[in-house]
Amino acid sequence: QVQLVESGGGLVQPGGSLRLSCAASGFSLDWYAIAWFRQAPGQEREGVSCFVGSDSSTYYADSVRGRFTISRDVTKNTVYLQMNSLKPEDTAVYYCAAGSFCTVVAGSTTLHESRYWGQGTQVTVSS
Protein backbone atom coordinates (compact mmCIF):
# COMPACT_ATOMS: atom_id res chain seq x y z
CA GLN A 1 0.00 0.00 0.00
CA VAL A 2 1.40 3.37 -1.03
CA GLN A 3 1.16 5.97 1.68
CA LEU A 4 2.82 8.82 3.53
CA VAL A 5 2.36 9.05 7.28
CA GLU A 6 3.26 12.13 9.27
CA SER A 7 4.01 12.11 12.97
CA GLY A 8 5.69 14.21 15.62
CA GLY A 9 3.23 17.05 16.00
CA GLY A 10 2.08 18.35 19.33
CA LEU A 11 1.89 21.29 21.69
CA VAL A 12 5.06 23.28 22.32
CA GLN A 13 5.84 26.62 23.92
CA PRO A 14 7.15 29.53 21.88
CA GLY A 15 10.87 29.12 21.32
CA GLY A 16 10.61 25.36 21.56
CA SER A 17 11.35 22.64 19.02
CA LEU A 18 9.60 19.75 17.35
CA ARG A 19 10.67 17.20 14.77
CA LEU A 20 8.10 16.02 12.28
CA SER A 21 8.48 12.75 10.40
CA CYS A 22 7.10 11.76 7.02
CA ALA A 23 7.42 8.02 6.56
CA ALA A 24 6.81 6.53 3.14
CA SER A 25 5.66 3.00 2.41
CA GLY A 26 5.05 1.28 -0.88
CA PHE A 27 7.51 3.46 -2.78
CA SER A 28 11.02 4.88 -2.40
CA LEU A 29 11.55 8.53 -1.57
CA ASP A 30 14.83 8.45 -3.50
CA TRP A 31 13.07 9.33 -6.74
CA TYR A 32 10.71 11.99 -5.46
CA ALA A 33 10.72 15.48 -4.12
CA ILE A 34 9.17 15.53 -0.66
CA ALA A 35 7.57 18.73 0.52
CA TRP A 36 6.15 19.93 3.80
CA PHE A 37 3.10 22.16 3.74
CA ARG A 38 1.09 23.74 6.51
CA GLN A 39 -2.39 25.12 6.77
CA ALA A 40 -3.79 27.16 9.62
CA PRO A 41 -7.53 27.64 10.11
CA GLY A 42 -8.92 30.19 7.67
CA GLN A 43 -5.64 30.48 5.80
CA GLU A 44 -4.32 29.14 2.54
CA ARG A 45 -1.95 26.22 2.47
CA GLU A 46 1.70 27.30 2.55
CA GLY A 47 4.68 25.35 1.30
CA VAL A 48 7.41 25.53 3.95
CA SER A 49 10.17 23.19 2.80
CA CYS A 50 11.14 20.64 0.19
CA PHE A 51 13.77 17.91 -0.19
CA VAL A 52 14.68 16.59 -3.60
CA GLY A 53 15.56 12.92 -3.38
CA SER A 54 17.61 12.72 -6.57
CA ASP A 55 20.22 15.29 -5.55
CA SER A 56 19.45 16.06 -1.88
CA SER A 57 18.81 19.72 -2.60
CA THR A 58 16.64 21.60 -0.13
CA TYR A 59 14.26 24.52 -0.34
CA TYR A 60 12.73 26.70 2.36
CA ALA A 61 10.03 29.31 2.60
CA ASP A 62 11.16 32.74 3.73
CA SER A 63 9.02 32.39 6.85
CA VAL A 64 10.98 29.38 8.15
CA ARG A 65 14.46 29.72 6.68
CA GLY A 66 17.07 29.55 9.42
CA ARG A 67 14.64 27.92 11.87
CA PHE A 68 13.51 24.75 10.08
CA THR A 69 15.72 22.03 8.62
CA ILE A 70 14.56 19.30 6.25
CA SER A 71 16.47 16.05 5.98
CA ARG A 72 16.11 12.46 4.84
CA ASP A 73 16.98 9.07 6.32
CA VAL A 74 17.40 6.72 3.38
CA THR A 75 17.43 3.62 5.57
CA LYS A 76 14.05 4.53 7.05
CA ASN A 77 12.57 5.96 3.84
CA THR A 78 11.60 8.97 5.93
CA VAL A 79 11.91 12.73 5.59
CA TYR A 80 12.13 14.90 8.69
CA LEU A 81 11.35 18.51 9.41
CA GLN A 82 13.27 19.81 12.40
CA MET A 83 11.51 22.93 13.66
CA ASN A 84 13.36 25.20 16.07
CA SER A 85 12.57 28.60 17.58
CA LEU A 86 8.89 27.95 17.04
CA LYS A 87 6.49 30.86 17.02
CA PRO A 88 2.74 31.01 17.58
CA GLU A 89 2.32 31.76 13.88
CA ASP A 90 3.81 28.33 13.10
CA THR A 91 0.63 26.77 14.49
CA ALA A 92 -1.02 24.73 11.73
CA VAL A 93 -1.69 21.26 10.43
CA TYR A 94 1.48 20.10 8.71
CA TYR A 95 1.30 17.79 5.70
CA CYS A 96 3.94 16.06 3.64
CA ALA A 97 3.59 15.21 -0.02
CA ALA A 98 5.64 13.51 -2.72
CA GLY A 99 5.99 14.92 -6.21
CA SER A 100 8.36 15.53 -9.08
CA PHE A 101 10.31 18.66 -8.21
CA CYS A 102 10.28 21.82 -6.13
CA THR A 103 10.64 25.51 -6.71
CA VAL A 104 10.31 28.62 -4.58
CA VAL A 105 7.57 30.98 -5.69
CA ALA A 106 6.79 34.24 -3.93
CA GLY A 107 8.72 33.15 -0.86
CA SER A 108 7.01 29.79 -0.44
CA THR A 109 8.04 26.37 -1.67
CA THR A 110 5.99 24.76 -4.43
CA LEU A 111 5.81 21.05 -5.15
CA HIS A 112 5.13 20.20 -8.78
CA GLU A 113 3.17 17.19 -9.98
CA SER A 114 2.26 16.04 -6.49
CA ARG A 115 1.34 12.40 -6.34
CA TYR A 116 0.98 11.29 -2.73
CA TRP A 117 -0.19 13.15 0.38
CA GLY A 118 -0.18 12.36 4.04
CA GLN A 119 -3.04 12.92 6.45
CA GLY A 120 -1.40 15.72 8.42
CA THR A 121 -0.19 16.30 11.96
CA GLN A 122 -1.18 19.20 14.21
CA VAL A 123 1.46 21.57 15.52
CA THR A 124 0.37 24.07 18.17
CA VAL A 125 2.75 26.71 19.49
CA SER A 126 1.33 28.34 22.57
CA SER A 127 2.25 29.29 26.09
3-state secondary structure of 71: strand
Q: How far, in Å, CA of 98 to CA of 35, rounded?
A: 6
- Local structure of 39: helix, strand or coil: strand
Alpha carbon 80 to its chain centroid, in Å, reads: 7
Q: Please give the Cα distance from 45 to 127 (Å, whole number).
A: 24
pLDDT digits (tens, 9 = 90+) for 79-107: 999 999 999 999 999 999 999 999 998 89
Q: What is the pLDDT of residues 34-80, one digit of tens each?
A: 999 999 999 999 999 999 998 999 999 999 999 999 999 999 999 99
The per-residue pLDDT for 22 is: 98
pLDDT for the residue 93:
98
Q: What is the pLDDT of residue 39?
A: 98
